[in-house]
Amino acid sequence: MSTYDEAIKKYDPVLGLETHVELSTNSKMFCGCSTEFGAEPNTQTCPTCLGLPGSLPVANAIGIESTIRIGLALNCSIAAYSRFARKNYFYPDMPKDFQTSQYDEPLCSNGYLDVLVDTEDGAKPFRVEIERVHLEEDTGKLTHAGGATGRIHGADYSLVDYNRAGIPLVEIVTKPVPDTGEYAPLVAKAYVTELRDLLRGLNVSDVRMEEGSLRCDVNLSLTPKGSKTWGTRTETKNVNSLRSVERAIRSEIERQSLELDKGNKIKQETRHFQEDTGTTRSGRSKEVAEEYRYFPEPDLVPIAPDKAWIEKLKKDLPEQPSIRRTRLAKEWNFTDLEMRDVATLGGVDLIADTIAQGTSPASARKWWAGELSGHASKAGVELIDLKITPTDITRIDALVNEGKLTDKLARQVIEAVLSGEGNPDEVIKKRNLSVVSDDSALIPAIEAAIAANPDAAAKIREGKVQVVGVIVGAVMKTTGGSADAAKVRELVLKTLGQ
Amino acid sequence: MSRITREEVANLARLARLDLAESELDEYAQQLEIILESVAKVSEVSTKDVKPMSHATGLVNIFREDITKESLKREEILRSAPATEDDRFRVPRILDEE
Amino acid sequence: MSDLTKLSALELSSELTKGSVSAVEVTKAHLDRIESLDKTVQSFLHVDKTGAIKQAEEVDKNRKEKKKVSSLAGVPLALKDVLTQKGVPTTCGSKILEGWIPPYDSTVVKNLKNAGIVILGKTNMDEFAMGSSTENSAYFPTKNPWDLTKIPGGSSGGSSAAVSAFFAPLAIGTDTGGSIRQPAAVTGIVGAKPSYGGVSRFGLVAFASSLDQAGPFARTVLDCAMLHEVMAGHDPLDSTSINQPVPDVVSAAKLQDVKGMKIGIIKELGGKGWQTGVLNRFNESVELLKSMGAQVKEISIPHSLYALATYYLIAPSEASSNLARFDGMRYGLRVDDGNLSAEEVMNKTREKGFGKEVKRRIMIGTYALSSGYYEAYYAQAQKVRALIAQDLTNAFKEVDVLISPTSPTTAWGLGERVNDPMAMYLADLATLPPSLAGIPAMSVPIGLADEDQLPVGLQIVAPFMNDDRMYRVGGAIEASLKSKWNGLLIDQVPALGGGK
C-alpha cells in the first residue's frame, strides 16, 4: 500500500485554498497607471503606486465591480458597508510598507462553489464553502541577483520592478473543507479548475496560472480518524498549475502523515511547492503570528454598494460554467466525463467557437481535446496559449471532410501553423501538402512500389489481396502520406488485376 | 504601575524597524510609559453603542473610472533611488521570505 | 515705493495690478530681506531664488501680454516643507528625506502656480509635523521674531515666523492638531485650518491622514481668506476631498460685522492652569464681541477633556503606518555599509534618519494598533473622537461659532519643554477638539500678554464646511482692534537686527 493510501486510512485531511486573482482592469487599483503585461521595468509607476511621500489612492470603479461580481457568482452576500484596511509589514517590494487590503469588512462573504470529482463510483459532488472575497493591491516584482539559483536564498542583493505594484488583486478564501477523504487532492484541483472557468466567464481576469494572474496557496491539516480536533495546518505556496495543486495536497498529506506516525508535531509554517520533485519544502515559520496592525484605511472612504446596482449585477451574471457545460454537453452529445476532460483542459470556449464556425462537435473535440491537447502538454502551456485558432481548426477539418487533406496531412498542417508558418491555406500552399488523388499522379508511385515489392505483388495477382497494405504503405511512404490511401488501394488492386 | 517593559519597547522597535540601542531602551520605556499613562484616559469614557469615527467627511463610494493615465518617466523615479541596476531599484539581500 | 515687504498681499496685489511695481521687484525685495535677516530667525530650510524669480518673470510676462491673471499673481509665499513642489527639495524637517527632490507637484502647489503666486522657498517645521515648537526639526530650531529666545510654535513654526518677520505676506502650513493655529497665535498673525477635506492632501506628506489639512497664514484676515480660496477646492486625486463649492471666505472676511451672531465660549478651555495674560486678552475680546452686537454664552464640550488622549492615540497610530515607507529602499537616506541585509538597512536607516519624537510616536502608534491593544486604545480613541465631534455638532445647534484662547500660554523659551513630551503636548489643548471633529478653526491675534508682552491668539471654530463664519468673526475682531491699536498687532513686532 502506498504512503498515500496508508495516510488516508489513518487520517482525515482538512483542506483550504486561498486564491489571488489579478484583475484585468486597464488601470491599476488606486491610480491610472497601465496594467499592461510585459512593459519595460519601472515604466508604469506614478507617485501613488510607488508610494511616494504625499501620494494618495483613489479606488478603481471596475475593481470594485469585478470583486462584487465574483462574490455574486460564488453565491456570497455582498456587504452593505465595506472598508479598505491597511495591512502593515515591511518588505522591499512594498512601496508603502503596508498593503491596502481589506480586513474585517470584506466586500463579499459566505458563499460556495460546487465541484464534481471523478471516482470509480461515478462523479461525486463536493461543496466548497467560501469564507470571503476581498479586494487588495499587488506588490512589486523582485528578482534576486548574485546567487547561483536566482532564488532568494544565497542571493547577494535583489532588484525591484514596481510595474506590478498596485494592480488589483481579488483574494478568495475558502472555509476549511473537511470530509473529502482520499479525494482531497482532486477536490482541490476541481475547485481551482471550476473557479478558473467561472472567473474566465465573468471576463474579469486572464486567469493564467503560469503568468501569475491566478495564484493559489493550499492549506492542509490532518485529523486522526475518530478525533474531533483538527490538526495543525501548513500553508503551501508556489503552486503554479492545476496539476501542482493536486500534487501539493497529495504530497502534504503524505508528509504530515509520516510525521504524525512518528509521533512528531506538525509545525505551523509556510512551505514551498517544488515542481521538480512534486514535494513541499519548509519556508518561513509561522510560529509567531504575524502582527499586521490592521486598521481602516483613512485615505479611502467606505464602500456602500447600492442595492439596486447589486441586483442588476446579479441579473447580468453570465451562466454558471457548470450549468453551461451540462447544457452544452447535451447539445454536443458529449458524455459527462468527456465534457469534464474538456473543462479541465480549458477547452470549452475553444470548442464552442469551433463548433460555431461549422465544425461538428465530435470533430472539434477530437482536434482540441486530442491532437492539440497533446501539443499543449508537450510545450508545457495551456490550450488557449497555442498559436492556432478555432477558425484554423474549422478550416482544417473542412479540408479533411472534402478529402483535400488526410488525417496525417492535417496533423502536419497543425504543426506548421503552431510553429508560426501561417494559416492553414498558406501552409498548405507553401509546403504543397494537398492530398494526391489524381490517378495519373499516383501511377508512377504505384508502379515503383509494385516493382520494389515483387513478392507482395505476385501474391495479390494470385488473389491474396490481404497483402495489398504493403504496396499501399510503400506508396504512402514515397508520397509522404499525401496520397489518398483509399484511392491508392483501389488503383493498386486494379493494376494487379483485382 | 508599569505599562510598558523594556522588552516590549524592544519588540515595538523591531516591528517598526527601528534599530534602538540597548542603552536607549530604558529611556524610551520611561517616556512611552508617561504617554501611555495619559492616553489610557480614553478608557474612562463609556462608548457603548458608539461608532468609531475613522473618517471625518462622511463620504462613501468615491471611485475613479478605469482609464489609464500617463505614468512618471522612469528616469524621474530612479533618479532619487539610493541604488539602481538594470533599470530597477537595487536593494540589499533579503533574509525574510514573504 | 516704500518697503514692499511691509505690504499686505492685498496691497501688493493692488500695486501689481496697477503696474506700479513688477512681480520680479516684489520677489527680489522679499528675497533680499530673507537673505539679510533670516539668519536670525532661521525660518527657511531652502530658498528657491532662481525658481521664484522665474515664476515672477512669468507673471510679469502674462500681465504685460494682457493675459488674464489671478488677483494674487506675483504675491510671494513661503511654503511649509511638507508639501511637494516638483524639482525643489522637500525634507519634512527630517534627515531621512535630506536631498529628496519630488518628481511631482502637490495639488496645493498646482493651485498656487495657477494663481501666479510666487513660492519663495520651503520653511522649517517639526519633523514630519510632530511637535508644537519647531524644535523637533532635524536641521535647526526657528526663532520667534517677537523674541528670538522663544519658540515660534509648531509644527508650522517656519511658515509662521516667515510671515511675522515680513519675509513673505503669505505662507502655507499644515494643521493636524493645531500646527497652524498655535504658531499663528504665538507669533501674532492669522492662521486657519480649513474644514477637513476642504483642501486637497495630494502631495501633502502624511502625518495623520484623517486629521492633516494644509491652510493659510497671513498678517490680515482678508489676506488669509484670499489664500484660503486659492488653496481650497475639490480634487479628484484625493478620495477624502469634499466635492462642494469653497465657502465664500473672502466675502465673509470683508463683512467686519457680527451683529446678531451667537457665539459660544468653550467652557472647558480656560481657567486654572491657563496663563493669566492669555485669559485677560481673551476676556477682553469676549467683551469686544458683545459690544459689536454678538450674543455670547458659555457652552460645554464635555468630551474635550479627553481630546489630548484621543489625539495622541489616533495621530501616532496613523503616523506609524504613514512613515513606514521611509525604509531606505526607494528614496531618501540609506544607511548601508555594503554587508547588511535589507532588514538591517531598514532598521539602521530609520534609527539614524528619524528624531526622538518621531520614534516615540511611531512606537506609541505601533503599540496602539497591536493585537491585544487595538480595541482598548485605537478603536476606543476613534469612539471618543466620535463623541467629541457629537459634542461640537450639538453645540452648533445653539451657537453659530465657538471661541477659546488658541493656546494656554504665550511662546515659551527655546529648550524649555524639549525633554518633557507631555508638557509639549499640552500646548494643543484648545486646538485639538476641532481637529478631531474635522471642523474649521482659525486663530486671530488679540493682543499681547501683560507678563511677557508676547502675542495672544483667539481661536474661532465654525461648523463643517462653514469656514466663512470664522472669517466673518475674525475679520470683525481685527477691524475693531485695528482701530484701537491704530494698526495691526504685528506692526508692533520688534525690528529684526535693527532697522525695520
pLDDT one-digit tens code per residue, A425-441:
999 888 877 776 666 77
Q: How far apart (Å, rounded) are the C-alpha atoms in residues C286 and C263? A: 9
Of C236, C329, C376, the CB nearest to B89: C329
Touching B: which chains, 3+ CB pairs < 8 A? A, C
Q: How many CB pairs under 8 A join A and B?
A: 126
Instruction: Pick the residue of B63, B73, B86, B90 with the most A CBs within 10 A to test the interface with A by mutation.
Output: B63
List chain B domain ranges. 6-43
Q: Do A41 and B88 touch (CB under 8 A)?
A: yes
> In whole angstroms, what separates CA C168 from the centre of its chain?
15
Q: Does A62 touch chain C (CB under 8 A)?
A: no
Contact C110, C236 (CB under 8 A): no
Residue with cell 504505384: A446
Touching C: which chains, 3+ CB pairs < 8 A? A, B
Residues of A in contact with B59 (CB under 8 A): 301
Residues of A in contact with B14 (CB under 8 A): none
The stretches of A131-202 forming alpha helices (DSSP H) are 184-202
Q: How far apart (Å, rounded) are the C-alpha atoms in residues A437 and A424? A: 20
Q: Do B17 and A90 touch (CB under 8 A)?
A: yes
Question: Quick one: C282 exposed, middle or buried, by C-beta within 10 A (0-12, 13-18, 19+)?
Answer: buried
pLDDT of B25 > 90? The answer is yes
Q: Three cell numbers at B32? A: 512611552
Give pLDDT, residue A437.
60
**How is residue A366 annotated by DSSP?**
I
Residues of A in contact with B19 (CB under 8 A): none
Give pLDDT, residue C167.
98
DSSP one-letter string for C386-416: HHHHHHHHHHHHH-SEEEEES-SSS--BTTS
Q: Do C343 and B95 touch (CB under 8 A)?
A: yes
Q: How far is A283 from chain C (nearest CA, A)?
A: 18
pTM above 0.95, yes or no: no
Give pLDDT, residue A439.
67
Neighbours of C411 (CB within 10 A): 29
Cα→Cα distances A373→A365, A461, C91, C265, C429, Å: 10, 44, 59, 81, 73
Angle between helices A321-332 and A336-344 (to 10 degrees): 130
Neighbours of C409 (CB within 10 A): 20
Q: Does A300 touch chain B (CB under 8 A)?
A: yes
Of C242, C344, C384, the CB nearest to B42: C384
Task: Name the β-bridge partners of C122.
Answer: C46, C79
Active-site residue (options: C8, C94, C179, C285) = C179
Question: Quick one: A319 exposed, middle or buried, by C-beta within 10 A (0-12, 13-18, 19+)?
Answer: exposed
Q: Which helix (H) or strand (E) holds C51?
A: helix C49-64
Task: Name the β-bridge partners of C46.
Answer: C122
**How is residue B16 annotated by DSSP?**
T
Neighbours of A160 (CB within 10 A): 25
Neighbours of C36 (CB within 10 A): 12
Neighbours of C131 (CB within 10 A): 29
Closest CA to A81 of A106, A101, A100: A106
Q: How far apart (Å, rounded) are the C-alpha atoms in residues B37 and B32? A: 8
Q: How far apart (Å, rounded) are the C-alpha atoms in residues C433 and C304? A: 6
Q: Does B76 touch chain A (CB under 8 A)?
A: no
CA-based R_g, chain B, Å: 22
Residue with cell 470548442: A351
> In whole angstroms, what separates CA A473 from the centre of its chain?
41
Q: How far apart (Å, rounded) are the C-alpha atoms in residues C153 and C182? A: 6
Q: How far apart (Å, rounded) are the C-alpha atoms in residues A324 and A86? A: 39
Give pLDDT, residue A409.
87
Q: Three cell numbers at A25? A: 482592469
Chain A residue with Cα closest to B84: A159
Give pLDDT, residue A484.
77
Give pLDDT, residue A284.
65
3-state class (DSSP) for residue C430: coil
Q: Three cell numbers at C147? A: 523674541
Q: Three cell numbers at C28? A: 527680489
Half-sphere exposure in the Cβ direction for A447 (13 Å, CA): 6
Q: How far apart (Å, rounded) are the C-alpha atoms in residues C387 and C383? A: 7
The two beta strands, A157-161 and A11-22, are: unpaired
Give pLDDT, residue A369.
94
- Peptide bond just before C155 cis, omega within 30 deg: yes
Q: How far apart (Å, rounded) are the C-alpha atoms in residues C189 and C153? A: 12
- Rounded to the nearest 10 degrees, how much is the dihedral formed by the CA atoms of A444, A446, A449, A455? -130
Contact A274, A284 (CB under 8 A): no
Neighbours of C1 (CB within 10 A): 10
Residue with cell 530650510: C45
Q: Which helix (H) or strand (E) holds A101?
A: strand A98-101
Cα→Cα distances C367→A94, A149, B36, C136, C364, Å: 22, 40, 10, 22, 5
Q: How far is A415 from chain B (nearest CA, A)?
A: 38
Q: How far is B61 from chain C (nearest CA, A)?
A: 9
Give pLDDT, residue C500.
45
Q: How far apart (Å, rounded) are the C-alpha atoms in residues C100 and C89? A: 6
The two beta strands, A234-239 and A269-274, are: parallel
Residues of B in contact with C101 (CB under 8 A): 79-80
Q: How far apart (Å, rounded) are the C-alpha atoms in residues C402 and C480? A: 19
Task: Determine whether C155 is an active site residue.
Answer: yes
Sign of the torsion angle spanned by Cα atoms C340, C343, C346, C350:
negative
Q: How far apart (Å, rounded) are the C-alpha atoms in residues A24 and A45? A: 17
Instruction: Give the per-residue SS3 of C250-274.
Output: HHHHHHCCCCCCEEEEECCCCCCCC
**How is residue A217 annotated by DSSP?**
E
Of A143, A145, A302, the CB nearest to B55: A302
Active-site residue (options: C13, C80, C106, C122) = C80
Q: How far apart (Å, rounded) are the C-alpha atoms in residues C312 and C308? A: 6
Give pLDDT, residue C2.
67
Q: How far apart (Å, rounded) are the C-alpha atoms in residues C316 and C363? A: 8
CA-based R_g, chain C, Å: 21
Cα→Cα distances C163→A481, C34, C104, C172, Å: 93, 11, 26, 10
**Average of per-residue pLDDT across C476-499:** 91
Of C329, C350, C380, the CB nearest to B43: C380
Q: Do B68 and A159 touch (CB under 8 A)?
A: no
DSSP one-letter string for A375-413: HHHHHT--GGGSS--HHHHHHHHHHHHTTSS-HHHHHHH
Q: How far is B6 from chain A (nearest CA, A)?
A: 19
Q: Which helix (H) or strand (E) holds C455?
A: strand C455-461
Residue type, C207: F
Q: Does A298 touch chain B (CB under 8 A)?
A: yes
> Which residues, 6+ apart, have CB-to-CB distance to A375 below 8 Å?
A386, A414, A415, A418
Share of chain C above pLDDT 90, in %: 94
Q: How far apart (Å, rounded) are the C-alpha atoms in residues A356 and A350? A: 10
Q: Three cell numbers at C30? A: 522679499
ipTM: 0.96
Instruction: Pick the residue of A43, A291, A299 with the most C CBs within 10 A to test the interface with C by mutation.
Output: A299
**Average of per-residue pLDDT across C270-288:** 95
Task: List per-residue pLDDT tens for chain A, 498 residues long.
Answer: 788 999 999 999 999 999 999 999 999 999 999 999 889 999 999 999 999 999 999 999 999 999 999 999 999 999 999 999 999 999 999 999 999 999 999 999 999 999 989 888 888 999 999 999 999 999 999 999 877 777 777 788 999 999 999 999 999 999 999 999 999 999 999 999 999 989 999 999 999 888 889 999 999 999 999 898 999 999 999 898 888 999 999 999 999 999 999 999 998 889 999 988 989 998 865 555 679 999 999 999 999 999 999 999 999 999 988 889 999 999 999 998 899 889 888 899 899 999 999 999 999 999 999 999 999 988 877 888 899 999 999 999 999 998 888 888 899 999 999 999 899 999 988 887 777 666 677 888 888 888 889 988 888 888 888 888 888 888 888 877 777 788 888 888 888 887
Task: Determine whether C209 is an active site residue.
Answer: no
Of A42, A59, A298, the CB nearest to B64: A59
**Average of per-residue pLDDT across C247-259:** 97
Q: Does A301 touch chain C (CB under 8 A)?
A: yes
3-state class (DSSP) for residue C167: coil
